[in-house]
Structure 1
């Protein structure tokens, strides 16, 4: 039988088979390393800090089990020259994402912004804590800025009313944005919020935007229902115009720095504190909480009436009884006091 009829020698077939297997293996490894699903479902985001280097990123990926095979990731990262192009940020992780796509996002700095929403913030410390929880810088760094008189003056505020610059809303900000730039962003939004129309309404009340926010913080502290805010705002504006003490219970609670108080007593009213509107005329020096947009607009679009007294309703609905005269008010106050006694609310 001729060599042609006998076909390839056995050793050639073996070599071809080995080459084929090696080719398949190399192709599979290459596919798995570059294009195959790599990211697991263990984490939603990868946080790369400003001071992190490639080793730190690799360690984070391995410790948290973010990728299936850390060696594959390392190989692809070096091929794509990622170790020299580490960029800080908050990167969205999707299960099944390939190393090539993940590294492309990391290398390009294609991070996802934080949707930062805040409302019902009472103190600067609370706000600093929320900022520290959502962004790279810690809460102490943010608090130092919020308490910095030079920073507040830079933006046209006092140290006391600087807190009113932060308008409660939803903001999209990158996680690793510096605290100074985050504050600057809030100032930009404050300028946009206080448009010509709002400024004109504030001027018509003989109030600055900062003073409107301080009054709005009191309205927010009093009102459990948005639909009552304009009426409450009208009451306090009546008192301001007449030079009557505001006598707002939320300011007394703020002055006491005891937010567990449910029943303001006579002993609370004697505290010598500029936020105690039972002792000091006019508006306090700063907001007692961050006023909501609804509260600010309630002041600017206040309900016109003659009420100068109000007291919480005795049905604990969160609404108030309003009065023009002190005699009417005392009747309402006694009803509420009896209701508090019935529920054994003594303080």
Structure 2
């Protein structure tokens, strides 16, 4: 009797192993292709199997769960969002899950944009989880562990890869840490004599440089002009800070009365740097702010082709302004 029971168990076990082996190598009949599903953090093999079956993976949950246990992979399932195509086998699917081969999306956060503009990009992204929706700027900064009271300039512009349904807060956290590291690195390499008391002041200057020119060659020279003005006690008189201070009421046309209306960001009426950055500066602007060009230039004007004309004296500058304004009117 015992012998028969033993043989039955062996035969049943062998049949099960053969069945699971056959299951492992046969292509799955997916409900749709590509099939997308998400494994939340902390989800075990059995629960993951149920989630995939409910998504339309084409197997019974116990089959995939048993395959994972037989192969010793029960504890190796990694959380994330996944995509699989028609023809994938359970064996390949298990390997994908244990490698953490998640599907990724791009999140493009451009330099020169404001935090408000970045939030609009994140809110509109169809593949992110919008955990910051409804949060104030102060609440977001608190969740990121930031000491600053204002978010502008604190995040590094880049293209970030994220798994589908990642939190937008996680993307911001990565951008925040990236900017902290970049700023720390550039601050450590700054030459002697830069007129900033803190890295944050350098970040403010970098944001101004970012908004003043898109020409890589001109960034150190633009920074040099503003550094010279700071050292001489001159007003910075930079339009982008005034525009930032106007906020959403700015209609694209900067008027004389705007330059004369005092706000914390009006560098025509207030000396020194504005209280916060005015945009998200890229690495080139950070480097320019902390390694400005030498020389005795105090003025610059846009030539109309993206580059700038630099002048040492106000008379030189006024002549340059007249020259390029005439050219602009003639071109129009």
Q: TM over 0.5, yes or no?
A: yes
Q: What TM-score, normalized by structure 1, do the two folds share?
A: 0.70
2:232 pairs, out of 227, 242, 254, with 242
SS in 1 for 2:218: helix
Name which of 251, 259, 264 aligns with 2:254: 264
The 1:57/1:336 distance shift into structure 2, 3 A limit, reads: farther
Tell me which residue corresponds to 2:135. Answer: 144
Answering whether residue 181 of structure 2 is matched by residue 192 of structure 1, we say yes
User: Is 2:82 the counterpart of 1:91?
Assistant: yes
Uncovered stretches (5+) of structure 1, i.e. residues with no partner: 1-26
Residues 148, 159 of structure 1: 8 Å contact kept: no
Q: 1:191 to 1:113 in 2, by over 3 A?
A: same
Match of 1:328 among 308, 316, 324: 316
Deviation at 1:165, TM superposition (A): 2.9
Bigger drift between 213-222 and 173-182 goes to 173-182
Shift of 1:295: 0.4
> What is the aligned counterpart of 1:215 among 199, 202, 205?
205
Does structure 1 retain, via aligned residues, the 8 Å contact 2:238–2:268?
Answer: yes
- 1:215–1:135 CA distance, 2 compared to 1 (3 A): farther
- Any idea what the Cα deviations from partners look like across 1:46-100, whole Å, max 9, x if unmatched? 44456997665444x34xxxx5xx3x36563354479x98864122535532133
Deviates more, 1:96-105 or 1:106-115: 106-115
Structure 1 residues 331-340 or 293-302, which shifts more? 331-340
1:122 equivalent in alignment to 2:113? yes
Equivalent pairs counted in the alignment come to 302
Change (3 A) 1:223 1:30: same
1:251 to 241, 260, 282: 241
Distance 2:280 2:29 in 1: 41
TM-score (norm 2): 0.72
Kept in 2, the 8 Å contact 1:46–1:92? The answer is yes
Preserved CA contact (<8 Å) 2:28 2:88: yes
> Is this contact kept in 1: 2:186–2:287, CA < 8 A?
no
Give distance in 2, aligned partners of 1:220 and 1:188: 20
**Bigger radius of gyration, 1 or 2?**
1
Alpha-carbon distance in structure 1 between the residues aligned to 2:127 and 2:191: 34
Structure 1 residue 292: deviation in Å? Answer: 0.5
| Alignment partner of 1:299 is 2:289 | yes
| Structure 2 counterpart SS, 1:311 | strand
Please tell me whether the aligned partners of residues 223 and 292 of structure 2 are also in contact (alpha carbons under 8 angstroms): yes
Equivalent position of 2:64 in the other structure:
77
The 1:56/1:74 distance shift into structure 2, 3 A limit, reads closer
